[in-house]
């Protein structure tokens, strides 16, 4: 398992320093939120993409993947009945797939809760179908780019569309592409699923449907900063031979971003050493 840091945790630093700090803390990768690189990261020039790759390479760190895909530009939605907005959203998704591939990333995580809500739509079933159609429409793009596009189940307090692994897995199976998978966010799972997170790992990882894991406490802080216990989760991942990325994704940075990043990796590395 390889440890990655979601870069918005330290977005107050310029990108070169983000790479350097993450590497100095022991992370092997940075998981990038495109909005931290500007409102039009999906249209970033080839020269700027090369600069990002070089900054990561110089620091000895990888760009593991992308997440928080649709924060910018504003007003995107995969569930909207507005055809122009829906088509613009899908185009941004396609361009971000290319962006991820250009940065040598392995995956994209489609969370973006505000951009997939169906509650404001007059026909919730039709809205959900539009969301599924958006994910299906980019499957071939992801396959050609050799990246995996992950549908992220999110807690009900964040969105009303795709809250559990069962729901995400049903969509993944319907799309039926090896380039579209789901993933496990431990905070959302702890808030929404009925089974313990380690049991979810043991149930779902052998199916091949989970392609990525993000670690965070249900209190929205980093692993080790709340009541959730991650030793059973890491044990389950180890027992199931998970060899992918583990991304630290706190949303509340106590006392600040760099300290939160340092505490998260220290806690997780300690647990992993105990399992070795």
Domain CATH for 241: 3.20.20.150
Count up the domains in the chain and report the number: 1
Q: How far is CA 207 from CA 183, 222, 243, in A?
A: 12, 27, 15
Residue keyed to tokens 């249209």:
43
Closest CA to 184 of 143, 142, 230: 230
Give the contacts of 117 (CB within 8 A, at least 6 positions apart): 77, 79, 159, 160, 161
Q: Which residues contact 232 (CB under 8 A, 6 or more apart)?
A: 196, 197, 198
Question: Model pTM?
Answer: 0.97
Which of 180, 144, 46 has the alpha carbon at shortest distance from 103? 46
Rounded distance between C-alpha atoms, residue 21 and residue 34, angstroms:
19
Tell me the C-alpha distance between 219 and 158, whole Å.
Answer: 13
Select from 145, 82, 140 the least CA-distant residue to 115: 82
How many helices and strands (H and E) does the chain possess?
10, 8
Q: What crossing angle do the helices spanning 231-239 and 257-275 adopt, rounded to 10°? A: 50
β-strand 210-215 against 148-151: which pairing, if any? Answer: unpaired
Range of the domain at 81: 2-275
Residues 48/102, Cβ–Cβ less than 8 Å: no
10-residue block means of pLDDT along the chain (276 residues)? 98 97 98 96 96 98 98 96 97 98 98 93 91 98 98 96 98 98 98 98 98 98 96 98 97 96 98 94
């Amino acid at each position: 398992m390889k440890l990655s840091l979601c870069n918005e945790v330290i977005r107050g630093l310029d990108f070169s320093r983000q790479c350097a700090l993450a590497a100095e803390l022991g992370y092997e990768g940075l998981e990038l939120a495109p909005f931290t690189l500007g409102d039009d990261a999906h249209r970033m020039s080839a020269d700027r993409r090369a600069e990002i790759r070089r900054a990561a390479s110089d620091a000895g760190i990888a760009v593991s993947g992308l997440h928080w895909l649709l924060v910018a530009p504003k007003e995107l939605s995969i569930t909207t009945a507005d055809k122009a907005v829906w088509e613009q959203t899908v185009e941004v998704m396609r361009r971000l797939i290319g962006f991820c591939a250009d940065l040598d990333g392995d995956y994209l995580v489609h969370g973006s809760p505000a951009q997939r809500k169906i509650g404001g739509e007059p026909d919730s079933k039709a809205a959900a179908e539009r969301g599924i159609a958006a994910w299906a429409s980019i499957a071939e793009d992801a396959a050609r780019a050799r990246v995996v596009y992950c549908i992220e189940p999110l807690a009900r307090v964040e969105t009303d569309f795709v809250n559990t692994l069962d729901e995400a897995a049903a969509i993944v199976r319907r799309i039926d592409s090896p380039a579209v998978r789901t993933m496990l966010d431990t905070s959302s799972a702890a808030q929404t699923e009925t089974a313990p997170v380690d049991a979810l790992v043991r149930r779902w990882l052998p199916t091949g449907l989970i392609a990525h894991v993000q670690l965070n406490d249900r209190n929205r802080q980093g692993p080790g900063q709340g009541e959730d216990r991650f030793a059973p989760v890491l044990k389950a991942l180890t027992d199931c031979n998970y060899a992918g990325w583990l991304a630290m994704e706190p949303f509340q940075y106590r006392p600040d971003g760099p300290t939160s990043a340092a505490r998260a990796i220290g806690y997780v590395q300690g647990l992993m050493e105990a399992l070795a």
